[in-house]
Structure 1
């Protein structure tokens, strides 16, 4: 009889269809997300990765897609579990080694009510988040000219949407915006708050 490597604990089911399909469990001291891929005999095969609390919250709030959670991590694991969630086999894959077919479609959120969700984490307290996606945008790099063009578009939109009409004509150094960390992959730019610098 084969002994399990370990047993998953503190299970939180996110989606089930007769059995757990997507869930969060504790692996040692860390939370991990598991997505069922297929059945192999009496066991299920899952793709899994460690997940931070901000990504768990983002997934539940519709601020990131299921695919985005997996793509945000450096690596993932393919694990085999029995119906009691005892793990019998696991294999580590780098993000670049994960076949497209193992991940959900882009922009697929946890709940239908969220509609399409970004594949990168949206800032929770942003006044405005703008999400770009396309062939030229990936997690490793982006062309400088593409980045500058998108940033210019965001700045123009933010000044027209957030700034009161009387401040729209001021120099950019006078009325500006604090921006959260841009997220590459698809590009997410989140404006946190406006700032003003008045010169005497």
Structure 2
């Protein structure tokens, strides 16, 4: 069980193992926290011997142990530390040990994404993902060994910033330049595999209070809207991956209907020439932590769809609302040429405008979105805020 590259030492001076919490046991402790000298260590059994067992031990802290216990962090993530020890012990005496640096005990780490308790399913491998509102982790040859090329880092940070501003911006801040009142705090990037993690959104409350247009809008409502935007994104991501799994592709209708969603992901789903083979997406909806792994055919299908939709017809139309269909969540406008167009938007956005009596017959609007020419009535998937002209 010993690691070949390092010497086996017998003179342990770290102190006795005093178990403070057993996290998993099977015929004895398997995963546990112990005080060893002045250090708190996380132990995980890696092999059994006749007289003693082999444990991988790493320094830990309350944050890591809590995340592991609550199913927010995988056992691999909790053990993946800068240094560790492979210890042969019967939990009373230490027969031998090896001091291991980062990278020397990779083969001793458990499988990725596996929670300590099976009821939690797939979970993140980093604390940054576990504590984030939303996070992307990029895995592949380009980010191995704790080093990231500057070009890759710059591209992914820019792509992630653009995604957050578009996908999570609350509805109330989509008018004019109100988007500048919205921001997110970033967790420190993790370079061993590039992790970009956004914490909860923040809002410039002082400047919002000075805005007449935003009178009555409070941070609590904005946080709720940002959370709803995040849940909408997560739902669309699941639908995307499910359709690829079931059919091997994305239908043309799906690509047209979800062009905004696919465009927002531009750059965050790596292409084959980036030396990034997988991206892991983590989202915290306030109650549960969700994880999706995008690789192989899923990754290539999304990248191909993004390239295709770049050629879609984006137009701005000006017209008068002639019908509002609350059941379908759509409205119809007629332009100066008497051409009718059905306008479609996310259901939550339609409901909010409809509840505020913003959509009614005779109102003149300017809208931008993906245009589809049809025989009887054209169709426009709205991308961006609606400008009301009267």
Give me the TM-score of the superposition, normalised by structure 2: 0.45
For the residues of structure 1 that align with 2:70 and 2:157, how far apart are their CA atoms? 26
Displacement, 1:61?
Answer: 2.3
For the residues of structure 1 that align with 2:12 and 2:183, how far apart are their CA atoms? 56
Q: Cα RMSD (Å) of the superposition?
A: 2.9
Displacement, 1:139?
Answer: 6.0
> Pick from 44, 47, 52: which aligns with 1:43?
52
Distance change >3 Å, CA 62–CA 185, structure 1 → 2: farther
The reply to whether residue 88 of structure 1 matches residue 92 of structure 2 is: no
For the residues of structure 1 that align with 2:138 and 2:112, how far apart are their CA atoms? 10
Which residue number corresponds to residue 11 of structure 1? 20
Displacement, 1:173?
Answer: 5.2
For the residues of structure 1 that align with 2:33 and 2:185, how far apart are their CA atoms? 33
> Pick from 113, 128, 136: which aligns with 1:131?
136
> Pick from 190, 195, 199: which aligns with 1:183?
190
For the residues of structure 1 that align with 2:127 and 2:117, how far apart are their CA atoms? 16
Secondary structure in 1 matching 2:73: coil
Indicate the structure whose relative CO is greater, using CA pairs within 8 Å and at least 6 residues apart.
1
Displacement, 1:94?
Answer: 0.6
Displacement, 1:93?
Answer: 0.8
Q: Which shows bigger deviation, 177-186 or 21-30? A: 177-186
Q: Normalized per residue, which structure has more strand? A: 1
Contact 1:63 1:122 in 2 (8 A): no
Q: Deviations over 1:12-63 (max 9, x none)?
A: 1111122221111110122101111112221001111111211111211233
Structure 1: unaligned runs, 5 residues or longer: none
Which residue number corresponds to residue 83 of structure 2? 75
Give me the TM-score of the superposition, normalised by structure 1: 0.81
Which residue number corresponds to residue 200 of structure 2? 192
Q: Normalized per residue, which structure has more helix? A: 2
Displacement, 1:159?
Answer: 2.6
The reply to whether residue 162 of structure 1 matches residue 174 of structure 2 is: no
Contact 2:182 2:201 in 1 (8 A): no
Contact 2:136 2:196 in 1 (8 A): yes
Q: Which shows bigger deviation, 183-192 or 16-25? A: 183-192
Distance change >3 Å, CA 123–CA 38, structure 1 → 2: closer
For the residues of structure 1 that align with 2:100 and 2:123, how far apart are their CA atoms? 25
Distance change >3 Å, CA 179–CA 123, structure 1 → 2: same
For the residues of structure 2 that align with 1:4 and 1:96, how far apart are their CA atoms? 23
Distance change >3 Å, CA 160–CA 182, structure 1 → 2: same
Distance change >3 Å, CA 66–CA 124, structure 1 → 2: closer
